[in-house]
């Protein structure tokens, strides 16, 4: 057959654009609202692109912890990661704005920030580093869990508290008088069980879905931070998609974030009951002394060249 004729047939037979499979890594269990929302995003995108773009999700740190997954994404080995603002702080300092303790008055204030202009600016602030954030997933408020009753920061003195690898988390726990121990999420259950650490801090889901409530029995509702999860994608992978597919992906991510919020709200009530049935006591505290101890972080953050202006604007959004 004439070569040109052969090429012509080939062009006519081949689909107009190649099919893409995007690899997404995260550290949560399949039962979490976050995983279900990622599944929802994948289905939404698959349908919108008539099967041209598939997202393959690897949960439970199968491809490495959040930090390792970020590095794999930046090397081009995987396409997407669900991380959170604490872990992200060292990859893109703008996310540090979310890590300031007692920045948000309540979830309305927090959602106004993530859903608004500032939230959008932070998602795009890492563009020059080779990745962007597609959307936020709510992750509730973080509080301490230990086996000791914590009423004031003085009760934290000398306790080894696991933190995420985040300078803000280390500073916060130090100011509250405890000893911060950075560890990845997947190592934490064993660390608690073997008393490598005396406690940790997270939302209720960590007690039930990651089973930390089996080993830590007191959840102290000091609610020091509200740190969003973030769905990230490398610019290299984004550019493999057509403009239309990129818009479809962004729409799928946004839709999944709205869906996730509903799942989260239902889970919070259910998981609190479950944690209590595991023997976890929920301990209400007066937050005044906790807020006072971390106040120096607010003074420093307001002067920070990258996050200072975000912090001012976020404070103005409070009602």
- What does the binding site for ligand GCU look like in residue numbers (CB under 6 A)? 27, 66, 84, 139, 164, 185, 202, 206, 229
The burial class, CB within 10 Å (0-12 / 13-18 / 19+), for 313 is middle
- Please, which residue, 95 or 102, has the CB nearer to ligand GCU? 95
Rounded to the nearest whole angstrom, what is the least distance from the CB of residue 5 to ligand GCU in the complex? 55
Partners of 201 in beta bridges:
144
The CB-of-15 to ligand GCU minimum distance in angstroms stands at: 36
Q: Is the CB of 76 or the CB of 182 nearer to ligand GCU?
A: 182
185 or 310: whose CB is closer to ligand GCU? 185
Query: Which lies closer to ligand GCU via its Cβ, residue 185 or residue 219?
Result: 185
Taking the CB of residue 270, how many other CB atoms lie within 10 A of it? 11
Shortest approach of ligand GCU to residue 155 CB, angstroms?
Answer: 21
284 beta partners: 221
- Nearest approach in angstroms of CB 94 to ligand GCU is 17
The distance of closest approach from Cβ of residue 68 to ligand GCU in the complex, given in angstroms and rounded to an integer, is: 12
Q: Which is nearer to ligand GCU, 82 or 245 (CB)?
A: 82
CB distance 228 to 114 below 8 Å: yes
């Amino acid at each position: 057959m004439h070569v040109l004729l052969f090429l012509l047939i080939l062009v006519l037979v081949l689909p107009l654009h190649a099919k893409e499979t995007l690899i997404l890594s995260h550290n949560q269990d399949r039962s979490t609202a976050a995983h279900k929302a990622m599944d929802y995003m994948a289905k939404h995108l698959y349908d919108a692109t008539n099967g041209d773009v598939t997202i393959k999700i690897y949960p439970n740190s199968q491809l490495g912890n959040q930090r390792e997954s970020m590095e794999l994404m930046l090397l081009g080995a995987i396409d997407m990661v669900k991380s959170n603002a604490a872990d992200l702080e060292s990859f893109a300092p703008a996310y540090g704005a979310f890590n300031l303790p007692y920045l948000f008055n309540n979830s309305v204030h927090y959602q106004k920030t993530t859903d608004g202009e500032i939230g959008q600016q932070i998602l795009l602030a890492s563009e020059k580093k080779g990745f962007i954030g597609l959307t936020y997933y709510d992750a509730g408020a973080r509080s301490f869990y230990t086996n000791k009753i914590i009423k004031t920061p003085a009760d934290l003195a000398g306790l080894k508290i696991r933190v995420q690898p985040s300078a803000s988390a280390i500073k916060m726990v130090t100011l509250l008088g405890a000893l911060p121990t950075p560890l990845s999420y997947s190592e934490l259950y064993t660390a608690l069980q073997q008393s490598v650490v005396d406690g940790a801090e997270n939302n209720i889901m960590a007690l039930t879905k990651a089973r930390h409530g089996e080993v830590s029995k007191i959840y102290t509702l000091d609610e020091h931070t509200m740190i969003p999860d973030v769905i990230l994608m490398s610019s290299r992978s984004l550019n493999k998609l057509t403009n239309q597919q990129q818009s479809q992906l962004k729409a799928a991510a946004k839709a999944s974030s709205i869906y996730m919020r509903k799942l989260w709200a239902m889970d919070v009530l259910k998981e609190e009951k479950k944690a209590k049935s595991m023997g976890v006591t929920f301990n209400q505290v007066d937050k005044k002394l906790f807020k006072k101890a971390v106040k120096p972080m607010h003074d420093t953050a307001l002067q920070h060249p990258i996050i200072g202006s975000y912090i001012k604007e976020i404070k103005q959004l409070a009602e």
